[in-house]
């Protein structure tokens, strides 16, 4: 079969697959602060799909249970976790992005940290990862946050202060 491109017929010859591009974007956020104990990695729970006016969510939705996210379909996904940590932390704060391909064993695939030079300082970071999701039952992701001292992962009801963006880039 032929495709018309700029008025000219172009033959693909045989079979060909044309990628459909980005088919899904989901933004998730913490609607309120999330308490962190000192020097303990804590799975971030309670994220909600961002639903403020103008939020650019489209396509199928991620699902979340106890901080573990399940993908709506197979594909290559860009996963980004943003963290804002403040209050009493001192020394350092940060986050980890962990994935599983067997629905059991989670491995850290991306992480980021900031120095907090005083106990009341805040820190911000973004940790990205491209995840090849070949099975929606076994391939999942979760986020963990940590601070040197008791702190908060910041949240807000009407903004993406701390949270995640999931973008399906294409087929696996």
Position 54 scores a pLDDT of 87
Angstrom CA distances, 113 to 25, 98, 138, stand at 26, 15, 28
Position 88 scores a pLDDT of 67
Position 7 scores a pLDDT of 62
Position 92 scores a pLDDT of 86
Please calculate the CA angle 110-147-113 and round it to the nearest 5 degrees. Answer: 35
Position 91 scores a pLDDT of 78
Q: What is the largest CA-CA distance in the chain?
A: 66
Where do we find the tokens 């391909």? 101
Q: For strand 75-86 and strand 163-170, is the pairing parallel, antiparallel, or unpaired? A: antiparallel
Nearest partner of 164 among 73, 87, 60, 57, judged by Cα: 57
Exposed e or buried b per residue across 10-32, where buried means at least 16 C-beta atoms within 10 angstroms of its C-beta: eeeeeeeeeeeeebbebbbbbbe
Instruction: Indicate left, alpha or beta for 61 from its phi (over 0: left) and psi (-120 to 50: alpha).
Output: beta
Angstrom CA distances, 83 to 1, 165, 167, 170, stand at 49, 12, 18, 26
Position 53 scores a pLDDT of 85
**Average pLDDT value for residue range 96-111:** 98
Task: Decide if pLDDT at 3 tops 70.
Answer: no
Q: What distance in Å separates the CA atoms of residue 90 and residue 26, rounded to the nearest whole number?
A: 32
Per residue in 67-92, pLDDT (tens digit) is 999 999 999 999 999 999 988 656 78
Position 57 scores a pLDDT of 93
Per residue in 106-155, pLDDT (tens digit) is 999 999 998 876 766 788 999 999 999 999 999 999 999 999 888 999 99
Position 122 scores a pLDDT of 80
Q: What distance in Å separates the CA atoms of residue 22 and residue 5, rounded to the nearest whole number?
A: 22
Per residue in 8-67, pLDDT (tens digit) is 665 566 555 555 689 999 999 999 999 999 889 999 999 999 988 888 899 999 999 999
């Amino acid at each position: 079969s032929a495709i018309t491109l700029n008025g000219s017929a172009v033959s693909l010859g045989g079979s060909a697959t044309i990628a459909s591009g980005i088919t899904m974007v989901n933004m998730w956020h913490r609607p309120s602060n999330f308490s962190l104990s000192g020097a303990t990695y804590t799975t971030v729970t309670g994220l909600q799909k961002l639903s403020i006016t103008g939020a650019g969510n489209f396509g199928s939705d991620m699902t979340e249970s106890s901080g573990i996210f399940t993908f709506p379909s197979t594909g290559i996904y860009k996963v980004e976790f943003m963290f804002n940590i403040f209050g009493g932390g001192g020394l350092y704060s940060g986050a980890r992005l962990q994935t599983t391909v067997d629905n059991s064993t989670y491995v850290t695939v991306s992480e980021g940290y900031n120095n907090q030079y005083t106990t009341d300082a805040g820190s911000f970071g973004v940790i990205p990862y491209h995840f090849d999701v070949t099975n929606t039952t076994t391939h999942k992701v979760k986020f963990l946050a940590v601070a040197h001292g008791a702190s908060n992962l910041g949240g807000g009801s009407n903004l993406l202060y701390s949270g995640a963006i999931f973008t399906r880039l294409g087929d696996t």
